[in-house]
Structure 1
Amino acid sequence: MSDVYNRMVKLLQTGFGLEADEISPEQTFNDLELDSLAMVELSLAAQEEFGVPVNDEDISSRDTISRAAEVIEAKGVAV
């Protein structure tokens, strides 16, 4: 997995109390039971972590974690 994916997993662990073994690349944020408020919080945390704008058009609760990492990488995050 990419560095961005691994950093996303860490954000989910620290910000939402998930364990690494609960998270897989093909899970959606819905699968992880992140509601709309949690998605806003995740977007803000991702913006801070990666230094790129991340909004609700970029990452939705229906997206997989690997897809979210790809979107963030495409924004030019240095890996």
Structure 2
Amino acid sequence: MNNRFARCLMGAALLMAGPVRAEIKGDAIRIGVLSDMSGPFATAMGPGSVLAAQMAAEEFGGAIDGKPIRILQADHQNKPD
């Protein structure tokens, strides 16, 4: 009987869950690139990753639904936190 109750509860939860649509809020679409900008792998990954993301945004047209794409960058400094 307990298994039947769990199935009914799961079915009710699935029926109540509606589709969720993503929305773009704000004035721009921000895409973050977190890479090694100052550590030992900076020459291999850091600025090149940011440039690649910028080139991809430009290739995509620089905007989505009329909102500009902005690429943000940050240095993780090879720290696990």
TM-score for the superposition, normalised by structure 2:
0.27
TM-score for the superposition, normalised by structure 1:
0.27
